[in-house]
Structure 1
Amino acid sequence: MKKYALYISILCAGLLLSSCGKDFLNKNPQGALSEDQVLNSDGVEANLLGAYGILNGNVSGTWGNYAAAPSQWLFGEVAADNAHKGSEETDQPNMNLIELLRPNPANDNLSQMWQVYYEGIARCNRTIVLLKKDQQSGGTVSASRAVEIEAEAKMLRAHYYFYLWRVFKNIPWVDENTSLDAAKVMSNDQDIYPKIIADVQFAVENLPESKISGEKGRMDKMIAKAYLGKLHLYQGNHALALPLFKEAIGSKDITAMPFQNNFNVETEDGPEVLMVSKHAINPNGTGDNANTGDMLSGLYGTSPVGCCGFYQPSIDLVNAYRVDANGLPYLNGQYRVDPYLSDLGLSDTLKAQYVVNRALRVDPRLDYTVGRRGIPYLDYGVMPGDAWIRLASYAGPFVGVKTMINRSQFASHAVPGEPYITALDVNIMRLADVILMAAECEVELGNLSGALAYVNAIRLRAAKLPPKQLNGANMANYVVQPYTSFPNAEYARNAVRMERRLELALEGHRFYDLVRWGIAKQTLESYSTFEGGHLPAFAGVTFNSQNAYFPIPQIEIDRSGGALKQNAGYN
């Protein structure tokens, strides 16, 4: 039961905060506690845990949290070249507009993203306000703990702002010193990025080395350092980012940390975890503290999950895992020549005769990331193809793996009768991510040998993955080898970028990586030409300058009385 302590506390904190972010009502709702009742150590800690509660992108309930998912699957992967929305074209049509890079300010996915994470910011601000009032009134919170609480709250606040910044860029800054009236009409014409950095810098200086009470989901100093490095990286400040990444990496040997353990609900708290959104099924069997943001990615049809058929890996991503005779990925797009399509487009007769190509030469991470017809899928049995897919002719013949749990784990780690709502954590930042960000810095700072060592560590770990087998025979020609050298910076840069795609696929990074690298236009338009040749719904995508960010939700502009200005290109 110890694992559930943090979640139960967060649930209780949510009751304390039932009016958080809605002070304009000027009411004390029935069942809510007044400020005087929470102005003490227990109240401050409960408010902090309520702020942690937004890490899973959910304010209440289970359905409808998809755009705010901590995995950022919709904005980070579906908007890029790694995944399709999935399901059918008429299902969640506003998601289609995100995928096709034609969003409009009325899109409900945008307002959900905005409202959930500003709720998280409001909870962080409320925690800091209560903490300061407690300290001014004599202090039921010890001075040392008070500094830690402020650091935890500011680290969370920075994270919520960063998530919003990546999607919208031009957003208003509201902190503990902002009055309610000022917050309602706060403009978005200032660069808030330095303030995000300042919050994380405070966390670096004041968070403890170890997690409070040993609770896995808590912030600590190493998370803050890695996050600060990431913030510098997004600004192209590689010299500032690299030392922070190196501290986070330390002497850790990632080759000894099994890749697959990051996506297993029973081994997820491993040494590779840095920042994580913790999830659990509530003691009463409900799932609002579970991984509700990823629930649509459940397998469809006759699969053991039965719902909901979204978030399907793209054909392009699957083929990116193909390797050459040396066990290295194709960095020049050659993997698109004579692509592997599984049984897509075959007649019913040929589909019935389909046999998986076991000679296909691929990186073994493919079958731990993507479900393919003919390949064993977790403990569900052999993936049968269309029977587990909503509409393969629309979004392709592949399904995701990383968001699913084993069938044998349903009883303990899924909502009864709804096994697509699970206790599987989401890694917001894991060690492999940090190592590859460090490799990126090394390339840009001219240390190609350092970048080579980092990339090869990831590849050597991948080579240890057990091959997927059936009746004792490998299901593909699995091979992944380290690079012998990086002959020049351009080659090294492409190798690092490809490794990020292969290692971190379907974990919410891809679109943001393409944008910050400045290659989103050529990558996504080329992808659309290839993918659209096999799945017509995805042809003809154009990436315009405004597509680096999404429009400000119109409902928020209206609520601000026009104080918020729309992002350029979306007027």
Structure 2
Amino acid sequence: MKNISKYSLLLTLGLVGLFSNACKDEFLDRPPIGVFSEEALRTKAGVQGMLIAAYTGLNGAMYGSGSSAGADVSTFSNWVFGSLTSDDAQKGADVGGSRSNIERYEIAADNTKLDDRWRFVYDGIARCNDVLRVAPTVKDFTDTELKNILGQARTLRAVYYFHGTVVFGRMPWIDEKTTDYLQPNERVLWKEMEEDAKFGYDNLPETFPELGRVNKWMAGVMLAKLYVFQKKWAEAKPLLDVIIANGRTTRGVKYALLPRYHDNFRIVTQGTNTDSESVLDAQYSVNDNGRGYNGGLGDNLNFPHGGLPSQPGGCCGYHQPSQDLVNAYQTDANGLPLLDNHNKTEVKSDEGIESNQPFTPHQGPLDPRLDWTVGRRGIPYLDWGPHPGKAWIRDQNYAGPFSPKKNVYYKADEGVFTEGTSRQISANNVRIIRFAEVLLMAAETEAELGNLEKAREYINQIRRRAANPDGFVKMPDGKAAANYVIQEYKEPWADKAFALKAIRFERRLELGMEGQRFFDLVRWGIAKEVLNNYLTYETTKRANLKGAVFRDHNVLFPVPQRQIDATKRPDGTPTLTQNPGY
């Protein structure tokens, strides 16, 4: 009753104020409550606050009502558009929903998930543009301070535009000078994104006292990624060479692979002075009066299902790894991946077996990264004990027997790094870009340029880390949880086609379930072939995928119909054009 009385009193006082001022002229000129004018922000503190707001978008939850309604397709984990659409994962949970249409390549332009993504991207861009428009008008910034701020805002703008480009392709260019916001989507904005990232690389400092800011090296990595996506190998190589030799995290730690693979996805090791692998993280936090918006809201559906206190999150069984992905982690007798037909044999699962019935996990040789990427029956699930199988799966018949793992927090972190009583929101960062991806991009670049041995050297660095026994999943007695067999490529690479096959496969293994797979398949030009082969295989396991077909136009998603309708000119002429095939 106290709360009701308090809000009733506030409402009453508000109405009294409204009617007492209604006859005065100044009533019409009052600024909206909770909104700052640009004039009020033309200070150093105001611009820094605007810049922080631009960073806030990296958490993927700028709008919404505390649910995953918009955050699920805005989060930089990209699990909906980059993972469910690939051969890595299925929607999971149970039958139906707008994500099913995305998964099956049957998405229409009126799907609200498209509009959520579009609005999120341009919200982030708008925040960057605010900084870029206001900062130069503040007279007491030094030249160095101003370049620092502009470099951060422009690099972040490139990140947001890229986050939209990989989904929609052509997008309208809106910058800090735009006054007519009815701009066409005539082309992919590679040039503009390059210029923004290049400005950051040329003008930002190498380090910052604050964790999580964009520095020179991160801007360089973003620029290199733009080059790689455009197949600009000659431009990418020298930049990647310099980054690998000299690049540092915001805190000045030289870029390097962490000794243990899974430390990338563990809260207590993220952002420390020894965290050498972070290039750009979504810096999540909880219990900070942010109502969960600063935590992993966009992945709050992606936990084992069941509602039990003995399991992390307790809901909702989405983003389930595919059998195809699990099979990809098999190795041969030499500890190398099965590049040509990883589905010829299968990793044993507990599908159809109750949790109270006996089950022996797969005994064949496996890449140890499997059990840091996928939760499977009988294998320790972080420090939550062995994954019990079916008891943690929402519907095995629908989406299979496996659980996601990289977004999940440790039991020891619960209550400290989770949001109050909301067990599905944690401070486990999304690694938007990590140094392993820099090495993978460098390997791909070297192979494309014919430098096959240099490419093999980079791939072996990644495999060497994965082979570190200290980083294996262990049983309570300290023994390896499975038959982990992994080796480096010891034979020289003499064939470019083989080298590229090995590099692409390694990228899948290293970045499994990290939301990049679909976009990789598209940029390699092999999405149709790979994904239809995947559907042929996976439908032998999952009836929910039967009838799904990947067609040529599915390499891009539709421009949201809401945006096409909302941006028509006064005469009814559309500003935006729809992508082919929709």
TM superposition score normalised by structure 2: 0.88
SS for the counterpart of 2:557 is coil
SS for the counterpart of 1:274 is strand
Contact 2:335 2:486 in 1 (8 A): yes
Moved more, 61-70 or 527-536: 61-70
| Mapped pair 1:81 → 2:87 | yes
Q: CA deviation at 1:352?
A: 4.3
Q: CA deviation at 1:38?
A: 1.2
Residue 106 to residue 280, structure 1, CA distance change in 2 (3 Å): same
Distance 1:27 1:540 in 2: 58
| Mapped pair 1:364 → 2:368 | yes
Distance 1:256 1:406 in 2: 19
What residue is the counterpart of 1:318 in the other structure? 326
What residue is the counterpart of 1:196 in the other structure? 193
What residue is the counterpart of 1:67 in the other structure? 73
Distance 1:429 1:467 in 2: 24
SS for the counterpart of 2:279 is strand
SS for the counterpart of 1:428 is strand
Q: Any unmatched runs of 5+ in structure 2?
A: 1-28, 247-253, 569-573
What residue is the counterpart of 1:38 in the other structure? 41
What residue is the counterpart of 2:509 in the other structure? 502
Distance 1:108 1:132 in 2: 37
Distance 2:46 2:366 in 1: 53
Q: CA deviation at 1:253?
A: 7.7
AA in 2 matched with 1:50: A
What residue is the counterpart of 2:210 in the other structure? 215
* Structure having the higher Rg: 2
Q: Deviations over 1:215-267 (max 9, x none)?
A: 22100110111111110111111111122122222276846532111000000
SS for the counterpart of 2:414 is helix
What residue is the counterpart of 1:162 in the other structure? 162
Given candidates 518, 521, 525, the residue that maps to 2:525 is 518
Percent identity between the aligned chains? 40
Residue 275 to residue 359, structure 1, CA distance change in 2 (3 Å): same
SS for the counterpart of 2:301 is helix
SS for the counterpart of 2:293 is coil
Matches within 5 A, 1:277-426: 277-284=282-289, 286-301=291-306, 302=308, 303-333=311-341, 335-346=342-353, 352-357=356-361, 359-426=363-430
Distance 1:372 1:82 in 2: 15
Distance 1:277 1:256 in 2: 18
Distance 1:199 1:79 in 2: 29
Contact 1:255 1:460 in 2 (8 A): no
Matches within 5 A, 1:12-161: 28-60=31-63, 61-63=65-67, 64=69, 65-90=71-96, 93-134=97-138, 139-161=139-161
| Mapped pair 1:241 → 2:236 | yes
Distance 2:377 2:238 in 1: 44
Contact 2:88 2:325 in 1 (8 A): yes
Q: Deviations over 1:70-91 (max 9, x none)?
A: 111111111100011111113x
Q: Any unmatched runs of 5+ in structure 1?
A: 1-25
- Point out the structure with the larger helix share: 1
AA in 2 matched with 1:176: E
What residue is the counterpart of 1:17 in the other structure? none
> Following TM superposition, where does structure 1 have runs of at least 4 consecutive aligned residues deviating by more than 6 angstroms?
none
Moved more, 310-319 or 354-363: 354-363
Q: CA deviation at 1:283?
A: 2.5
Distance 2:290 2:144 in 1: 37
Residue 207 to residue 472, structure 1, CA distance change in 2 (3 Å): closer
Distance 2:30 2:300 in 1: 34
Distance 1:306 1:511 in 2: 28
Q: Deviations over 1:112-154 (max 9, x none)?
A: 11001100101111111111222xxxx1322211111111110
Contact 2:349 2:362 in 1 (8 A): no
Distance 1:461 1:423 in 2: 25
Given candidates 262, 265, 284, the residue that maps to 2:264 is 262
| Mapped pair 1:489 → 2:474 | no
Q: CA deviation at 1:473?
A: 4.1
TM superposition score normalised by structure 1: 0.90
Distance 2:203 2:129 in 1: 17
Q: Deviations over 1:193-233 (max 9, x none)?
A: 1111111111111111112xx22210011011111111011
Distance 2:340 2:327 in 1: 13
Q: CA deviation at 1:341?
A: 4.0
Contact 1:254 1:461 in 2 (8 A): no
What residue is the counterpart of 1:442 in the other structure? 446
Given candidates 433, 437, 451, the residue that maps to 1:429 is 433
Residue 358 to residue 521, structure 1, CA distance change in 2 (3 Å): closer
Distance 1:361 1:402 in 2: 22
Q: Deviations over 1:58-105 (max 9, x none)?
A: 113431210011111111111100011111113xx1101111111111
**Between Structure 1 and Structure 2, how many residues are aligned?**
531
Distance 1:35 1:353 in 2: 65
Q: CA deviation at 1:542?
A: 1.9
Distance 1:339 1:389 in 2: 20
